[in-house]
């Protein structure tokens, strides 16, 4: 499934007020599905103490229904958060944004939170008029926040949500989550070759070579991909490669595995959320900020570049940090990681 979302109109959700209701918390996460997966542990804790509203892309609803149905979703495609078209102000859905703000102002939020150090996010949340606005502001740009948790350095995103939870007085977030369900087969590995941004996609022929070696070692890989990649996989001989039709299918397939392999993209964070160990091939981004939050996560870091992390705005004809990673480099580390997982599984069986 792609995490890309198109702008949508806004229909105000039914909001039921209750006498003596708990304080309301507004959470903003305008980016992709992987970011929503990272947010889920925070939401699970927050709903114990707050009535929680999430501003997020419309397809976040699949993960919320699955993992934290108590959260109300207000679909909001923030044009400033899109990878393309964010600066085309005349095409912004101004009426939809105004209606969302009107709805939010009537909620009288006790607090609003976001982990992205962007004044655009902070301004939108400030216009919703919460009593407290908490987040992370860059140096000299945190004046919109009531409480700026930034300390001048970069934070791993799960850690950023943990700090916000502590600031709100919430219980500590768990370091890892349990599986959705037990794995269906002890040697089942899910490979997802897609990503919302092409700059993060390691070449498919190299993945095909990894699949050949995995099968030779007795692994049973399942290939998931973006819809745009299905034909290419068929040309490479992977007739069973498929794109998930919906979020439940994606989660169920990933959760049935004992290991996950893929790009720096949303499915890897969904795997970590399901308790599945992840192996990630990084390119433009850096693991310190974007590695899936799983105790057994491993990765190959992209080749050095003075612009990293470039947040998917590559200055070159191709992302050499990613395309410069060869099969032998990945296989050497992947094979060792899988051997360690097999030992852990044997001890726990």
What is the CATH classification number for the domain harbouring 43?
Answer: 3.40.50.2000
Angle, alpha carbons 144-145-149 (nearest 5°): 140
pLDDT at site 89: 82
Of 132, 167, 202, which one is at a domain's C-terminal end? Answer: 167
| Pairwise CA distance, residues 219 & 23, whole Å | 49
Q: Is residue 142 part of a domain?
A: yes
- Asked whether 200 and 265 are in contact (CB, 8 A), the reply is yes
| Pairwise CA distance, residues 127 & 332, whole Å | 51
pLDDT at site 174: 79
Report helix, strand or coil for 190: strand
Residues 157 and 211 both lie in one domain: no
> What are the Cα distances from residue 271, in Å, to 32, 97, 304?
15, 32, 27
Question: Pairing relation of β-strands 51-56 and 72-75?
Answer: parallel
- Segment (H or E) for 271: helix 266-273
Report helix, strand or coil for 321: helix
Q: Is residue 134 part of a domain?
A: yes
Residues 96 and 216 both lie in one domain: no
Domain that holds residue 107: 24-167
> What are the Cα distances from residue 192, in Å, to 136, 161, 198, 257, 260?
32, 26, 14, 12, 8
Task: Look up the pTM and report it.
Answer: 0.89
pLDDT reading at 67 higher than 50: yes
Task: Identify which has the larger pLDDT, 90 or 266.
Answer: 266
Residues 154 and 249 both lie in one domain: no
Residues 144 and 196 both lie in one domain: no
Report helix, strand or coil for 198: helix
Q: Is residue 305 part of a domain?
A: yes
The burial class, CB within 10 Å (0-12 / 13-18 / 19+), for 91 is exposed
Residues 28 and 148 both lie in one domain: yes
Residues 303 and 269 both lie in one domain: yes
Residues 148 and 225 both lie in one domain: no
pLDDT reading at 100 higher than 70: yes
How many CB atoms neighbour CB 82 within 10 A?
A: 18
Residues 192 and 163 both lie in one domain: no
Q: Is residue 28 part of a domain?
A: yes
Report helix, strand or coil for 23: coil
Residues 153 and 216 both lie in one domain: no
Of 138, 167, 196, which one is at a domain's C-terminal end? Answer: 167
Say what percent of the chain tops pLDDT 70: 89
- Segment (H or E) for 26: strand 24-29
Phi/psi region, residue 190 (left: phi>0; alpha: psi -120 to 50; beta: rest), is beta
pLDDT at site 313: 83
Residues 49 and 152 both lie in one domain: yes
Q: Is residue 279 part of a domain?
A: yes
| Pairwise CA distance, residues 275 & 341, whole Å | 13
Structural domains in the chain (count) = 2
Q: Dump pLDDT digits (tens) for 128-168.
A: 999 999 999 987 777 899 999 998 777 899 999 999 999 99
- Segment (H or E) for 231: helix 230-235
Residues 148 and 231 both lie in one domain: no
> What are the Cα distances from residue 245, in Å, to 5, 92, 114, 249, 251?
15, 29, 30, 7, 11
The DSSP letter of residue 242 is B
Question: Taking the CA of residue 246 as centre, how many other CA atoms within 13 Å lie in the half-sphere pointing to its CB?
Answer: 5
pLDDT at site 81: 85
192 — pLDDT class (breaks 50, 70, 90):
very high
Of 135, 167, 199, which one is at a domain's C-terminal end? Answer: 167
- Segment (H or E) for 73: strand 72-75
Residues 158 and 206 both lie in one domain: no
Q: Is residue 173 part of a domain?
A: no
**Whole-number mean pLDDT of the chain?**
89
Q: Is residue 84 part of a domain?
A: yes
| Pairwise CA distance, residues 98 & 93, whole Å | 9
Mean pLDDT (whole number) for 283-289: 92
Nearest CA to 334 out of 210, 240, 246 is that of 210
pLDDT at site 176: 62
Q: Is residue 32 part of a domain?
A: yes
């Amino acid at each position: 499934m792609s995490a890309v979302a198109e702008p949508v109109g806004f229909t105000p959700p039914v909001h039921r007020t209750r006498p003596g209701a708990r304080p309301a918390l507004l959470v903003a996460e305008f980016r992709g599905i992987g970011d929503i997966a990272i947010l889920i542990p925070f939401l699970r804790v927050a709903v114990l103490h707050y009535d929680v509203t999430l501003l997020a892309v419309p397809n976040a609803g699949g993960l919320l229904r699955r993992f934290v149905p108590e959260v109300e979703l207000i679909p909001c495609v923030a044009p400033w958060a899109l990878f393309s078209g964010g600066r085309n102000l005349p095409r912004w859905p101004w009426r939809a944004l105004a209606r969302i703000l009107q709805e939010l102002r009537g909620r009288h939020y006790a607090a609003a939170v976001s982990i992205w150090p962007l004044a655009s996010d902070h301004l939108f949340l400030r216009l919703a008029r919460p009593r407290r606005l908490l987040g992370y502001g860059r140096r000299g740009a945190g004046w919109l926040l009531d409480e700026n948790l930034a300390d001048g350095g970069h934070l791993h995103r799960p850690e950023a949500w943990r700090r916000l939870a502590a600031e709100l007085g919430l219980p500590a977030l768990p370091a890892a989550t349990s599986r959705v369900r037990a794995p269906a087969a002890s040697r089942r590995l899910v490979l997802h070759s897609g990503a919302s941004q092409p700059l993060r996609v390691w070449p498919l022929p190299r993945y095909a070579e990894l699949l050949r070696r995995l099968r030779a070692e007795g692994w049973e890989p399942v290939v998931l991909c973006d819809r745009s990649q299905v034909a290419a996989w068929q040309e490479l001989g992977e007739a069973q490669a498929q794109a998930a039709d919906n979020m439940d299918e994606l989660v169920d397939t990933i959760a049935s595995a004992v290991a996950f392999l893929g790009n720096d993209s949303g499915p890897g964070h969904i795997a970590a959320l399901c308790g599945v160990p992840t192996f990630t091939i990084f390119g433009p981004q850096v693991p310190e900020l974007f590695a899936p939050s799983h105790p057994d996560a491993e990765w190959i870091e992209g080749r050095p570049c003075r612009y990293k992390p470039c947040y998917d705005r590559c200055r070159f004809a191709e992302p050499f940090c990613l395309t410069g990673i060869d099969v032998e480099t990945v296989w050497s580390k992947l094979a060792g990681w899988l051997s360690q997982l097999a030992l852990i599984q044997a001890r726990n069986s």
